[in-house]
A and B are shown apart, each in its own frame.
Chain A
Amino acid sequence: MGRFVVRRLAQMAFVMWAVSVLTFLIFNVIPNGDPAERMAGKQPREAQIEAIRREWGFDDNIFVQYFTTMKKVFTGDLVSYFTQLPVGEEIVKGLPRTLSLAIGAALLWMFVAICFGLYSAVRAGKFADRFLTIIALVGISLPVFWIGALMNHYLGFKLGWFPNGGYVEFTEDPIDWAYHLILPWTALSILFVGFYSRVLRSNVLDTINEDYVRTARAKGLGERQIMIRHVLRNSMIPIVTLWGLDFGAVVGGGAILTETVFDLQGVGQYAAEAVGQLDVPPVLATTMFAAFFIVLLNAIVDIAYAYLDPRIRLQ
């Protein structure tokens, strides 16, 4: 186990390094033109471009440039040239909001997907199964910002059932916090419910034919107990892995559209606003930290998996 952890962490460090190099290449090397001019944003002034060029060392050779950029990202003296605000502070400020959205949505989509997937598998081939399959396919075909905007308008604005966007601190009022997040949680969950319920359905159908399920039935266990204790538990293993990865992906980037539509002011919306202004420093930082977070979460999932299932350590 120890060796596996060390190996996995070394691999993680390597991927993180490669991620930083790729991010650097995307912003500073691959595109045409002057990187200082791109950093400065849409309407740069000549003096500012010159200052940025000196600050970021765009005249140095490429290796020095890479180190200068990384130093700026990690020491937190990255500043948006559009808003003049420090990027690190803005990200830290938005993080609780993004996590609120992601954690709630992850719990919601998992719960709904288990219900849908299990019911679909039990009724395989019947009308309910087909209906849920179509619903799931519709779910993965909906652009989240579109359905979110319509929900916000009709359920929030017209009917007044929910607040029309915005965010309330959990520490301020937990009930109002949840009330403000119901629509964003739902909108973000739709895609994942569609996907997870289908994966779970096919896993359940595979597991039902296993020997231990027949044994359980033979020894006279009730159908409900068989489904929940024997079938569902074993069908959940691949889904839980996915869950970890998707949670990372949502925190790292999937939340960008949902946050923008519901005006949650999290990290995603911060990135989205920077994108609208073609403001490079915030986009650079969020891109890199998003990928870092996912790489870290992947490693944690792998290690947890190896701990639970010793066969994986030997691969």
Chain B
Amino acid sequence: MRRLRRNKVALFFGFLFILLVLACVAAPIWAEEVAKTTPEANHLSDVIKVDGKDVNVVGLDGVPIGPQWLKADGKFFFGADRNGRDIAVRLLYGGRNSLMIGITAAILTTILAIVLGLISGYFRGTTDTVIRALLDVLWSFPVIILAVALGVALALGGLNIGPIHLEGDSLGIPIFIIGVVYVPYMARPVRGQVLSLREKEFVEAARAQGAGPIRIMFTEIMPNLAGTMIVFFTLLIANAILLESALSFLGAGVQPPNPSWGTMIDEGVDRVATAAHLAIVPGVMLVLTVLSLNVFGDGVRDALDPRAKVRLER
């Protein structure tokens, strides 16, 4: 921890991430108090006052206005899109979706990976062989292709697994997809650690006291995985946000009109020639968020174990 505290760059970026999250959480405040609109409201034929002059939100040639900063009292801070929707408002609401997907998917991955890694590493033998084969197969698919395949398969009908029911256009679909595809990348190193931890004296002591496998796995071994978990969790959020944007770009992620940074970049990239701010604004926001997580995660890894090699994306 002291090593982390000395790493000013990592701390700065960790702070930046918290700031970005808070800004997105506060989206309704900005929308109601400053921009006075909603993420879905169209202002196609509206006229706003900029420095006392009247300006069309969307010009007669269909080109929306660019960033106004504070010239229009905070309205259209980052400009408008082709429907006259306020980009700044959509950016914050989209950030809520992107961050929510990223964080929830990271939690899902972490839980699955820890449980699989613990069972596989602790019991060894046939259980281990089966789980490892399963992870190997998942690992054989390129992350993005597997995610896209699941996205296409689930987009029309949705998903039913036991008690879980997800509609085709719900945010649960991208969360489920992203949560699953990263599991092998985390479960493998966890399994490796469990394999060596289970031979340690404290595990033997617990076993001598009569502790069962469940107790040994979750109260003796799991706390020792905390460092790995923190590092992976940070990087998982970063990668999940990136993957969400890639999936939305391909049309297999968040389904419009739900805003997310991915869908906003997707819309912006199509119109980069006429209104570049549509692509630049959400892209910069996404990069800042992912970068802050990557730098912070890197700092935590350095502080805990500089030699650990952590990598998710392929």
Contacts and interface: CB of A to CB of B under 8 A. Distances in A.
A180 interface: no
A272 B250 contact: yes
B142 A275 contact: no
Nearest to B144: A253
Interface in B167-189: none
* A-B pairs with lowest CB-CB distance, top 5: A253-B142, A33-B157, A253-B145, A32-B157, A141-B291
**How big is the B interface, by class?**
35 or more
A254 B160 CA distance: 29
Interface of B: 9, 133, 136-138, 140-146, 148-160, 238, 242, 245-246, 249-252, 265, 269, 272-273, 276, 279-280, 283, 286-287, 290-291, 294-295, 298, 306-307, 309, 311, 313-314
Contacts of B157: 31-34, 38
19 contacts: A19-B140, A30-B154, A38-B156, A137-B295, A140-B313, A141-B294, A143-B246, A191-B313, A195-B311, A202-B306, A249-B314, A271-B148, A272-B250, A275-B152, A278-B156, A284-B149, A287-B141, A287-B149, A291-B142
A18 to B, nearest CB: 4
A235 interface: no
Nearest to A140: B294
A282 to B, nearest CB: 10
A286 B249 contact: no
Main SS of the interface on chain A?
A: helix
A26 to B, nearest CB: 5
A294 B306 CA distance: 30
Contact of B287 (A22, A31, A142, A295): A142
B272 A290 contact: no
B149 A27 contact: yes
Given A32-B157, A149-B279, A254-B144, A199 B250 contact: no
Contacts of A69: none
Given A141-B238, A150-B280, 5 more contacts: A32-B158, A33-B156, A38-B157, A143-B242, A245-B314
Given A32-B159, A143-B242, A286 B145 contact: yes
